[in-house]
């Protein structure tokens, strides 16, 4: 985990000294054994739970400020959720909950005040926040009052959540925006419900099973990308336009990548997988193959590359298929955008003149990180693992870099895989090459030349963990 501020700098910020004290107290508690008495442990656990709830209130304020200022983008994160998952190791659902808590605080004044005072537990706060997240401000005020009334009566968070669901259903009936009961639908079968609006439009509601969802993504995702910097439509508007384009006949080629063994196609039971890693039964893979073109991809040891040279700017369909077998997600470490939705990226930038469109010089990178790589080249460190997959690691902004260099051990590991996107190799590999040059010169001129000193001790490159 990377630290935004050094401890000395953090202590100078508002509340920084308190945060440092909290870290010391927490570390001391972690070193101590729990008391033998169960009654004492119960009392301490209840006290600690209240402290944790109030700490979550502080966390919500910090997350809200990062969200408002967009600070996470300076560090290479496309969203607040990506930052929380990547740096704090949260599950996506937990990150989404924390973001909702941060954004809904201003709309729930009484709930927020009780949370800060330690009189309302986090579970109740999260339940109320989830219940009102999609309501307008007027309905939020009424819903908060009703939900807190039942909290004061001793209702559990589960029952309060059921009441919140009922409030949403009543509001949906009032506004004539009710949804079909999904519990009555078969989740093994895709379905779409279409209802007319008064102005001649249509409301769509539905659910797609994984197989149909893969077809949907393969068809609409390429068409729903922004048309350029001037495209101010949000993703929902672009998706609707893409669907209209497809229905009008403007899109012909639908591609779904299914990766399986030859034995599976010939009757074996080993499951196949989609490009994003989703497993599908063998019989489903064979059914897809019956109505689709089958492209054999033979990947030898080290992933034998297909070479096009520099005359071709764009990767071929076959090359993209190879890349999608290598990259189930974006090449940026920690980014979970599926590879099928990513762009083909030239490792060193095609326009620089040293980036042939060869499969071993390409990677899949999401649109956001692709643009970040080109606008912040000094914040991307590229290595290659033993499977042939490039890994992009985000570096802190220049003002937050550590003052020491990488260790010699890390240098030996990364010398052959230094960041080709930067204008020069990392500093320590340069020292390593200098040492080897001096040794060679000594061998040529005799033993009287002084032996060069070993490289200085250093620390690892900054990396996301």
Residue 309 has what pLDDT?
Answer: 42
Please report whether residue 301 resides in a domain: no
pLDDT band at 174 (very low <50, low <70, confident <90, very high): confident
Judge whether 15 lies within some domain: no
What pLDDT does residue 119 have? 92
pLDDT over 90 (residue 110): yes
Q: Is residue 214 part of a domain?
A: no
Task: Give pLDDT tens digits for 285-315.
Answer: 776 665 455 555 544 445 444 443 443 445 6
Give the tokens for residue 439.
């040794």
SS3 148: helix
Domain of 353 in residue numbering reads as 307-398
In whole angstroms, what is the distance from residue 280 CA to residue 27 CA?
46
- pLDDT value at position 34? 92
> What average pLDDT does the segment 373-391 reach?
86
Contact 429, 414 (CB under 8 A): yes
Domain co-membership, 280 together with 164: no
Query: Above 70 in pLDDT, residue 233?
Result: yes
> What average pLDDT does range 33-47 have in this prediction?
92
pLDDT in tens, 176-231: 665 545 444 444 678 888 887 776 678 888 888 877 888 888 778 877 877 666 66
Residues 149, 68 within the same domain: yes
**What's CA 358's distance to the chain center, in Å?**
27
Task: Name which of 102-116, 162-176, 306-320 the model is least confident about.
Answer: 306-320
Per the model's pLDDT, the better-predicted residue between 8 and 394 turns out to be: 394
> How confident is the model at residue 13, as a pLDDT?
59
The confidence score (pLDDT) of residue 235 equals: 85
Count of structural domains within the chain: 4
Res 401: pLDDT = 61
Q: Check residue 259 and give left, alpha or beta (phi > 0: left; psi -120 to 50: alpha).
A: beta
Confidence of residue 356 (pLDDT cuts 50, 70, 90): low
- Does 3 fall in a domain? no
Note whether 388 and 412 are same-domain residues.
Answer: no
At 44 the pLDDT is 93
154 belongs to a structural domain: yes
Residues 59 and 162 in one domain: yes
Tell me the whole-structure pTM to 2 decimals.
0.54
463 lies in the same domain as 406:
yes
pLDDT at residue number 411: 37
Mean pLDDT of 62-86: 90
Query: Is the predicted pLDDT of residue 144 greater than 90, yes or no?
Result: yes
Residue 411: C-alpha distances to residues 76, 103, 408 (Å)? 24, 43, 5
Least confident residue range of 163-167, 334-338, 423-427? 423-427
Statement to judge: residues 390 and 333 lie in one domain: yes
The answer on 62 and 171 residing in a single domain is yes
pLDDT at 45 over 90: yes
* Domain stop point among 180, 196, 211: 180
pLDDT of residue 465: 37
* Same domain, residue pair 82 and 136: yes
Domain endpoint, select from 180, 204, 238: 180
Q: Calculate mean pLDDT across residues 260-270.
A: 79
Q: Is the pLDDT of residue 120 over 80?
A: yes
Structure tokens at 227: 């048309």
Least confident segment among 91-100, 247-256, 286-295: 247-256
| % of the chain surpassing 90 pLDDT | 22
Average pLDDT over residues 82-87: 90
- Asked if 331 and 379 sit in the same domain, the reply is yes
228: left (phi over 0), alpha (psi -120 to 50) or beta: left
pLDDT in tens, 403-425: 444 444 443 334 344 444 544 43
Q: How much is the pLDDT for 461?
A: 44
Would you say residue 195 lies in a domain?
no
389 shares a domain with 277: no
Q: What are phi and psi of 272, to 5 degrees?
A: -90, 180
Residues 425 and 461 in one domain: yes
Out of 349, 364, 398, pick the residue that ends a domain. 398
Residues 373 and 408 in one domain: no
Residue 247 within any structural domain of the chain = no
Q: Which two tokens stand for residue 79?
A: 């969203």
Of 152, 85, 99, nearest to 124 by C-alpha is 152
Q: Would you say residue 250 lies in a domain?
A: no
Percent of the chain predicted with pLDDT > 70: 68
Mean pLDDT score, 393-405: 71
Summarised one tens digit per residue, pLDDT across range 273-285 is 877 677 888 877 7
The residue ranking higher by pLDDT, 213 or 62, is 62
């Amino acid at each position: 985990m990377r630290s935004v501020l050094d401890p000395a700098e953090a202590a100078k910020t508002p509340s920084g000294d308190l945060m440092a004290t909290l870290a010391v107290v927490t570390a001391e508690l972690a070193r101590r054994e729990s008391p033998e008495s169960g009654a004492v442990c119960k009392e301490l656990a209840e006290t600690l739970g209240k402290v944790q709830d109030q700490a979550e209130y502080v966390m919500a304020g910090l997350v809200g400020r990062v969200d408002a200022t967009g600070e996470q983008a300076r560090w290479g994160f496309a969203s607040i959720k990506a930052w929380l998952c990547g740096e704090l190791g949260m599950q996506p659902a937990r990150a989404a909950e924390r973001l909702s808590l941060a954004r809904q605080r201003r709309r729930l004044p009484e709930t927020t005040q009780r949370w800060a005072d330690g009189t309302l537990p986090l579970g109740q706060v999260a339940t109320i926040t989830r219940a009102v997240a999609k309501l307008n401000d007027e309905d939020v005020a009424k819903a908060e009052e009703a939900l807190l009334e039942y909290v004061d009566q001793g209702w559990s968070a589960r029952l309060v959540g059921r009441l919140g669901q009922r409030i949403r259903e009543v509001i949906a009936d009032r506004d004539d925006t009710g949804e079909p009961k999904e519990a009555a639908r078969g989740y093994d079968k895709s379905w779409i419900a279409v209802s007319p609006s008064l102005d001649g439009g249509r409301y769509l509601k539905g659910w797609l099973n994984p197989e149909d969802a893969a077809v949907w993504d393969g068809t609409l995702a390429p068409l729903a990308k922004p048309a350029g910097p001037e495209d101010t439509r949000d993703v929902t508007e672009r998706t609707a336009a893409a669907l209209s384009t497809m229905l009008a006949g403007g899109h012909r080629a639908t591609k779904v990548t299914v990766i399986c063994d030859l034995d599976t196609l010939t009757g074996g039971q080993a499951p196949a997988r989609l490009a994003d890693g989703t497993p599908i039964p063998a019989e489903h893979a064979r059914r897809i193959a019956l109505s689709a073109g089958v492209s054999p991809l033979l990947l030898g040891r080290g992933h034998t590359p297909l070479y096009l040279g520099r005359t071709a700017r764009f990767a071929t369909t076959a090359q993209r298929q190879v890349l999608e077998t290598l990259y189930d997600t974006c090449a940026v470490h920690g980014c979970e955008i599926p590879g099928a939705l990513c762009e083909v990226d030239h490792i060193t930038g095609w326009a620089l003149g040293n980036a042939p469109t060869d499969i071993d010089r390409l990677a899949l990178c999401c649109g956001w990180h692709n643009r970040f790589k080109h606008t912040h080249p000094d914040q991307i460190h590229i290595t290659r693992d033993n499977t042939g997959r490039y890994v992009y690691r985000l570096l802190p902004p220049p003002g937050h870099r550590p003052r020491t260099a990488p260790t010699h051990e890390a240098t030996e590991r990364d010398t052959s895989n230094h960041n080709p996107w930067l204008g020069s190799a990392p500093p320590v590999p340069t020292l390593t090459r200098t040492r080897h040059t001096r040794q060679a010169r000594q061998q040529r001129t005799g033993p009287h030349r002084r032996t060069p000193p070993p490289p200085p001790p250093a620390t690892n490159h900054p990396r996301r963990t």
